[in-house]
A and B are shown apart, each in its own frame.
Chain A
Amino acid sequence: MVFLLRRLGFYLAAFIAAATINFFLPRLMPGDPIEIMFSSAGAELSMENLAALKLTFGFVDGPLWQQYLTYLQSIFTGDLGRSIKYFPLPVTSVLGHALVWTIGLMGTATIISFTLGTFLGILAAWRRGSVFDIVVSVGAIFATSVPAVVTSLIVLFFFGFTLGWFPTGYAADPALDPAFTLTYIGSLLYHGVLPMVTLCTVLTGGFAVTMRNNMINLLGEDYIVMARAKGLSDSRVMLWYAARNALLPTVSSLAIAIGTILGGSLVTEVVYNYPGLGNILYQAILARDYPVIQGQLLIMTIAMLVANFIVDVSYVLLDPRLRGA
């Protein structure tokens, strides 16, 4: 319990650090910070709205610490300001809408690659040195060392443009209205195939290698030898004795993956014009929509911290040795 509370304190500090970066960045840049942040707003903002935005980001008359407190206060009350590009939508609703798409796409991709990667890793470790092991290991090195932007573009080129099997952009056919119908869901799945394939290619290798190495470390343990000596079947030893224990460190890489999916799918979303968080961030950068850009950093930091906290909790639950501490 004390362990978890200490972690919570640390995460709070990390979150405030991210907020502090957001606060100081515009002020550290040469020139007028208000000019930098809101110049692209132009005539679209009325004086009244501009004043409200300034207040949200702590541009109040007063010393720096007072501005900083004003900014922190607006963050902790959940006010991230309004988007300049999509004015008058608040940043939270712009991001909230995109979050659903990102979680749908990346969540599915993470589950598929975690399951696939883990099984590939288990089998590769079990048949260490075999052709299967070499193919998995070398394939994983290649898949993880090629930048995601390259993987995205190559997949898009071959399956989207050259072969023309799958659509090359958007989350669903733009002509269809979002509705809970078979046509719409079908279109959704059809459009999701290429981004999904790309993300799974990028993610699976890492999970496979982690699992394989954890397994190999465990295969020499006495309790594995014991299980074999008892005459248990191969698959039982592999899955219930080795894999079960090797899974523990993999949980941490899964949670970190969940934390980074929000930022990690950025390039893929941009290439496939998928309406998730990454694409929103990209559009915001192009439009210099600073409230949205800054809101993204906070949202992604929170996602990362929540994921880390889940790892902490799951470790306490999964590893009895930690429970006493």
Chain B
Amino acid sequence: MGTLVRSLIRNRKALVGMIIISVIVLIAVAAPLLTEYNPAARVGRPHQPPSAEHWLGTTRIGQDVFSRLIHGARTSLAVGFGAGLLITALGTALGIIAGYRGGKTDEVISFFTNMVLVVPNLPLLLVLAAFIGQASPLVIAVILGFTSWAWGARVTRAETLSVKHKDFIKSAEMMGEPRWRIMTFEIFPNLISIVGINFIGSVIFAIITEATLEFLGLGDPKTVSWGMMLYNAQKASALSVGAWWDILTPCFALALLGIGLSLLNFAVDEIANPRLRTGNRLSRWTTLIRTGEGRL
């Protein structure tokens, strides 16, 4: 663990990524201390440009953009990490079980995994969200968790297959260790890098997707989040009336968080696979760009 932290600090990409994420997390945690304005209340005249009073201006209905931005960070981070955790947990568990047990279990799990992978994710999410109506961030996180695990399951299964025939697994089996113990204590620790990469990738995916669903008007209007900021600004025609602060603020926040997480992901991969550092630096990155899922 100590070595991992040390290598992360030594890696420049990881450092930049971690600084970006830490700053965003700190600001989100300290949000109520940093602004006196209630993010949901009307606190000024509509569409005021940035000023000393309202650092990032006001929205169409006179809410403080800065206050909404830093309070919204809490929602984005919570949905991102919550859904990311759920996606990773499901994907890892299913992947390890399918890979280790093999046979019928593997066939059934793999069949469902492949099926979920070919049904396009975004339209499915939109149909689900449309029937639910105004989806709160919690509902969005849960839907994301249960529909997006397939990629992780497939990658984890492949890795499990390569670990499964190693000697230490055979010896654990000989000693009569129960199967669940082999899966959790022998196989899982050896997959930690792929699990970490899956986790960060899922966080990025969840944050982007939450913002997209809310931008498309499927979110709960009472939510304070970056996606709802985009939705409200777009609905108020912020760009055509020249209120750029209203719409570009959440844009840059989302872009920054996405880049920060990607840099970290990239670095974790380099550290976990030293081979990548010298030559094939980006090979795992290919698999991180979730074909079909990340592209919204």
Contacts and interface: CB of A to CB of B under 8 A. Distances in A.
Contact of B240 (A146, A161, A260, A293): A161
Given A281-B126, A293-B126, A267 B119 contact: no
A217 B282 CA distance: 10
A145 B259 contact: yes
Contact of A11 (B118, B123, B216): B118
B239 A157 contact: yes
Interface of A: 10-11, 13-14, 17-18, 21-22, 25-26, 29, 36, 128, 137, 141-142, 144-150, 153-154, 156-157, 160-161, 168, 202-203, 205-206, 209-210, 212-213, 216-217, 220, 253, 256-257, 259-260, 262-264, 266-267, 270-271, 281-282, 285-286, 288, 290, 293-294, 296-297, 300-301, 303-305, 308
A286 B217 contact: yes
B115 A13 contact: yes
A259 B292 contact: yes
By DSSP majority rule, is chain B's interface helix, strand, loop, or mixed? helix
Interface of B: 111, 114-115, 118-124, 126-128, 130-132, 204, 208, 211-212, 215-218, 230, 234, 239-240, 242, 244, 247-248, 251-252, 254-255, 258-259, 261-263, 266, 279-283, 285-286, 289, 291-292, 294-296
B227 to A, nearest CB: 9
Given A161-B240, A285-B216, A285-B218, A217 B123 contact: no
B295 A264 contact: yes
Contacts of B285: 141, 209, 213
Contact of A267 (B120, B215, B289): B215
Contact of B286 (A11, A213, A220): A213
A288 B259 CA distance: 35
A161 B238 CA distance: 11
Contacts of B111: 10, 13
A212 B115 CA distance: 29
Contacts of B230: 149, 153
B118 A141 contact: no
Contacts of A160: 239
A145 B295 contact: no
A203 B37 CA distance: 39
A286 to B, nearest CB: 6
